[in-house]
Amino acid sequence: MATSTTQPRAGRQLPDSPRDPRRVGFSQTLGRWDVKVSPYLYISPFFLLFALTGLFPLAYTAYVSVHDWHLLGGQGEFVGFENFAFVFQEPNFWKGLRNTFSIFLLSTIPQLMVAIVLAALLDANLRAKTFWRMGVLVPYVIAPVAVSLIFGKVFADQSGLANAMLGIIGIDPIKWHGDVLPSHLAVATMVNFRWTGYNTLILLAAMQAVPRDLYEAAVIDGATRLRQFLSITIPQIRPTLIFVVITSTIGGLQIFDEPRMFDQLGQGGGDRQWMTVTMYIYELGFGNSKSFGRAAAVAWVLFLIILAVGMLNFWLTRRIASESTPTARKKVKR
Amino acid sequence: MSAPSVPYIRQTAGAGAARAAKRSRGHGSERRPGWVTYLLLTASVAIFTLPIYYAFLLASSDASTIAQNPIPSLIPQGNFFENVNRVLTSDINFWKALTNSVIVAVVTSASVVLFSTLAGFAFAKLRFRGRNGLLLFVIATTAVPTQLGIVPLFIVMAELGWLSKLIAVIVPGLVTAFGVFWMTQYLESALPYELIEAARVDGASMIRTFWSIALPAARPAAVMLGLFAFVGSWTNFFWPFIVLGSTNPTLPVALQLLQASYFKDMSLIMAGVVLSAIPLLVLFVVAGRQLVAGIMAGAVKG
């Protein structure tokens, strides 16, 4: 899967410049024109549509965020950083930020650890490979909304499966919807359920590409399986590991579907115990206050946070994946 | 560096060492993993599938039984079709949601595949000014969370008069940066220059070359990209929820409506959940092998 290492290679493999003309004529000119213009035509759908639905909105968010702007009333006057100032004073914004980070950490860290172990298990020479691979991917086809309806019932406070099970082994019912940490755990469970298998397969794909003779060499050197995993597998799948960590960060910090559907009101709990930043953006823009300006301000803040955390994660993953064995990396140049 | 093979060890270090090397080899193609691996995998697959079965159990039960007994009977009760019927005849327009989801998912995944393959072909195999810079731009945009532009995007849709129309969901899904990047990666290695050259020498136009040479070569990656795009569209909630509203929902939006209005009737809600999942589960069973193989194929370049 996605790595960014192959891009420079393309330049070298290009064929020689267009062939020598054999005859000059109209079709020749047409052919040249075809060669020159076609590439731009082929990439233009992406760039045009992306400009309209991705790039422009993102930039325009900055413009909206410094204006008084309402869902119904439209653009108001320029207010500078007033929207930001308002939002920073709101306790709900900080609650949303706390919840987002808490849920993000509770989901991403266990999820990726389990995924990497599962991928290592699947990387063995299994019988019925496809069955196991498909088995872990099943939750991925269930919509997050459906997942949270299922787990909403599992974690119901009164008649939920989780509390009933805990009752059997003598543990008091947990207020999954009432308390902060339990609600975060419940939401994180939904995220983990849906995405662990997906990340497992991405990591497995990278593991399958690791040259097998590296392991053979390690065995000769007397390395245990754990040592092989830490010193060969992890450094070798580093680009994919970075990809998975970055995409999980982007997705995890924007989480909306699962917490929104955790109860039927969709406000993140009476005391906003599990309201995330994206839910707060929705509430500001499309809820009662209908303030697009403030919603855009929060969106912009969240964007900068995602950027910062993404970069931090990139740096961390690089370090972790390369530090585990400096020597193996030197030997193995691909 | 080359690793010594088992026969080589046998020659140099003796049969005992060769056997030891063979036995302790965790990753070679010879050794089958032990039962612990299968036990762990079985447990994982159980954890990944049981919640879905749980949803089906609740969907085949009735609201009062569910309320009385939190732990359901492990055998499905007989009310499933009745509950499904109640979902379909409720005032939430479930049939319409189903049709809408099919339309959106088919159109966007077809478009993602076509445009990504076109762009991927250009980036991987054609020469043009600014190519590297533009490709870098595409890669950079995969890291930009587009969800965050929802407020302006909503304004754009309102200006265009597309609110509560399917086109407002379709247009933003027509292309993905990931798709372009994915197809570029794949075609770079899967499509030899010789084939393109040969087609050009034979006088094929660029678009003909794309159609007859690049598109068939891209098929494995395209199938996988199409499935991912389909699943992504089918399960998408945030944007359709904002822009469509309750009159013209897609499936996830309909599920939200179902929960909001029937939150006490768990069997009805779960029937809706199962109903919304069935098409994708069927698709997954039919095409899952290819999906999994596709993910693996993408890995070859690591």
- Condensed to tens digits (0 to 9), the pLDDT of residues A215-254 reads 889 989 888 888 999 989 999 998 889 889 988 999 999 9
Strand partners, A75: A69
Mean pLDDT taken over chain B: 86
pLDDT at B232 (0 to 100): 93
- Do residue B51 and residue A151 have CB atoms under 8 angstroms apart? yes
Structure-block tokens of residue A111: 């999820």
The reply to whether A165 touches chain B by the CB within 8 Å rule is yes
Written as one letter, the residue type at A132 is W
Q: For A27, name the nearest residue in chain B, comparing CA atoms only.
A: B203
Q: Do residues A57 and A282 lie in contact, with contact meaning Cβ atoms separated by under 8 Å?
A: no
Residue among B141, B187, B295, B291 at smallest CA distance from A6: B187
Q: Do residues B19 and B7 lie in contact, with contact meaning Cβ atoms separated by under 8 Å?
A: no
Listed in sequence order, the residues at least 6 apart from B291 whose beta carbon sits closer than 8 Å to its beta carbon are A137, B223, B224, B227, B228, B284
Which residues in chain A touch residue B135, judged by CB atoms under 8 angstroms apart?
7
Rounded mean pLDDT of A30-55?
88
The reply to whether A193 touches chain B by the CB within 8 Å rule is yes
Q: In 10 A of CB A304, how many CB atoms? A: 10
CA A159 to chain centroid, in Å, comes to 33
Q: Identify the residue among A6, A142, A148, A283 best suited for mutation to test binding to B, counting B beta carbons within 10 A and taking the highest.
A: A142
| Chain B (8-67) residues lying within 8 Å, Cβ to Cβ, of chain A | 9, 21, 24-33, 37-38, 40-41, 44-45, 47-49, 51-52, 54-55, 58, 66-67
The reply to whether A61 touches chain B by the CB within 8 Å rule is yes
Given a cut of 80, whether residue B123 has pLDDT beyond it is: yes
Structure-block tokens of residue B232: 């992504």
pLDDT grade for A10, boundaries at 50, 70 and 90:
very low
The reply to whether A137 touches chain B by the CB within 8 Å rule is yes
**ipTM surpasses cut 0.90:** no
pLDDT at A194 (0 to 100): 95
3-state percent breakdown (helix, strand, coil) of chain B, nearest 5: 75, 0, 25
| Chain A (171-190) residues lying within 8 Å, Cβ to Cβ, of chain B | none
- Do residue A125 and residue B28 have CB atoms under 8 angstroms apart? yes
Q: For B72, name the nearest residue in chain A, comparing CA atoms only.
A: A161
Structure confidence by residue, pLDDT tens digits, A165-208 = 999 998 999 999 999 999 999 999 999 999 999 999 999 988 98
Which residues in chain A touch residue B140, judged by CB atoms under 8 angstroms apart?
none
pLDDT at B12 (0 to 100): 60
Q: Identify the residue among A22, A145, A330, A333 best suited for mutation to test binding to B, counting B beta carbons within 10 A and taking the highest.
A: A145
- Do residue A299 and residue B174 have CB atoms under 8 angstroms apart? no
Given a cut of 90, whether residue B5 has pLDDT beyond it is: no
- Do residue B256 and residue A261 have CB atoms under 8 angstroms apart? yes
From A56, A57, A138, residue closest to B49, measured CB to CB: A138
Structure-block tokens of residue A196: 């662990």
Q: Identify the residue among B36, B125, B148, B283 best suited for mutation to test binding to A, counting A beta carbons within 10 A and taking the highest.
A: B148
pLDDT grade for A8, boundaries at 50, 70 and 90:
very low
Q: For B257, name the nearest residue in chain A, comparing CA atoms only.
A: A264
Structure-block tokens of residue B300: 């070859």
- Check: pTM over 0.90? Answer yes or no: no
- Do residue A299 and residue B148 have CB atoms under 8 angstroms apart? yes
Q: In angstroms, rounded to a whole number, what is the distance separating the alpha carbons of residues B56 and B53?
A: 5
Structure confidence by residue, pLDDT tens digits, B78-122 = 889 999 999 999 888 899 999 999 999 999 999 999 999 999 999
Residue contacts between A and B (CB atoms, under 8 Å): 358
Rounded mean pLDDT of A34-41?
88
Which residues in chain A touch residue B2, judged by CB atoms under 8 angstroms apart?
213
Q: Do residues A49 and B174 lie in contact, with contact meaning Cβ atoms separated by under 8 Å?
A: yes
Given a cut of 50, whether residue A138 has pLDDT beyond it is: yes
pLDDT at B75 (0 to 100): 87
Residue among B144, B162, B140 at smallest CA distance from B153: B162
Given a cut of 50, whether residue B22 has pLDDT beyond it is: yes
Residue A67 sits at φ, ψ, to 5 deg, of -125, 155
Q: Do residues B152 and A24 lie in contact, with contact meaning Cβ atoms separated by under 8 Å?
A: no
